């Protein structure tokens, strides 16, 4: 599959969860983690997020102070997003909405609608919009879908040792599914940065065999 280079970023609790059973929104990690999130965003041509995460975190998917903003790409089964969502209130990159099921007739104005598979959408971003680097910020179900395609080149992780969420239904880095991926995905650690004062550790893993990161 011809596609852009893809990185992901998640915060993980001490017991391996990305949120609580009640889907606690982001903001439970340190300011240093938030700065890292913005640095990773700034390096990408396009940002990718699932609609559930977009809603839970009230994301605008922007890079403060950047003249050229990355594309804002959302994945949804129906495309049902309120026109009152903050993403439509804050200037940023063009918004592309991938609908993988039957689309709602109420797609907000100014949104480029794509009805395709995830793999087809990734190829379209590369071929039609010259996207070289996509950065995905979750959620777990979307990251699992990328992992099933073996389409993750770099995985950024903040291990937050200060938090334990618990609960069998709390989502993990690959969603709530209890099934393993069909095959192993092989990565090597390329960055290890413990932050003793915050109880967090910044980690980066690169897929073995991944091509060079676009500049």
What is the average per-residue pLDDT within 141-157?
95
Q: Report the CATH number of the 5-207 domain.
A: 3.40.430.10
Cβ atoms within 10 Å, residue 76 = 20
Whose CA is closest to 154, among 174, 175, 132, 136? 136
- CA dist 77 → 49, 94, 109, 150, 201 (Å): 13, 20, 18, 21, 34
- Res 214 pLDDT > 80: yes
pLDDT band at 1 (very low <50, low <70, confident <90, very high): low
pTM, full prediction: 0.93
Sequence ranges of the domains in the chain: 5-207
pLDDT of residue 168: 84
Closest by Cα among 47, 23, 213 to 125:
47
Choice among 63-67, 106-110, 189-193 with the minimum mean pLDDT: 106-110
Are 146 and 118 within 8 A, CB to CB? Answer: yes
- Give me the residue label for tokens 């909405």: 97
List, in sequence order, every residue forming a beta bridge with 142; answer none if it has no partner.
none
Span 40-65, pLDDT tens digits: 999 999 999 999 999 999 999 999 99
Task: Report the C-alpha gap between 186 and 209 in whole angstroms.
Answer: 9
């Amino acid at each position: 599959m011809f596609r852009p280079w893809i990185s992901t970023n998640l915060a993980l609790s001490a017991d391996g969860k990305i949120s609580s059973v009640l889907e606690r929104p982001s903001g439970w990690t340190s300011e240093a983690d938030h700065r890292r999130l913005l640095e990773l965003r700034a390096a990408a041509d396009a940002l990718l997020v699932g609609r559930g995460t977009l809603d839970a975190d009230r994301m605008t998917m922007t890079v403060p102070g950047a003249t050229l903003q990355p594309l804002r790409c959302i994945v949804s089964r129906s495309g049902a997003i309120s026109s009152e969502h903050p993403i439509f209130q804050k200037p940023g990159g063009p918004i592309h909405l991938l609908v993988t099921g039957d689309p709602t007739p109420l797609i907000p104005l100014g949104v480029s609608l794509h009805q395709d598979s995830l793999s087809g959408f990734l190829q379209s971003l590369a071929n039609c919009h010259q996207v070289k680097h996509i950065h995905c910020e979750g959620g777990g179900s979307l990251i699992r879908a990328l992992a099933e395609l073996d389409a993750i080149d770099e995985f950024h992780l903040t291990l937050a040792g200060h938090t334990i969420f618990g609960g069998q239904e709390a989502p993990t880095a690959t969603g709530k599914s209890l099934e393993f991926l069909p095959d192993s995905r092989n990565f090597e650690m390329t960055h290890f940065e413990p932050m003793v004062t915050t109880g967090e550790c910044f980690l980066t893993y690169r897929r073995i065999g991944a091509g060079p990161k676009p500049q």
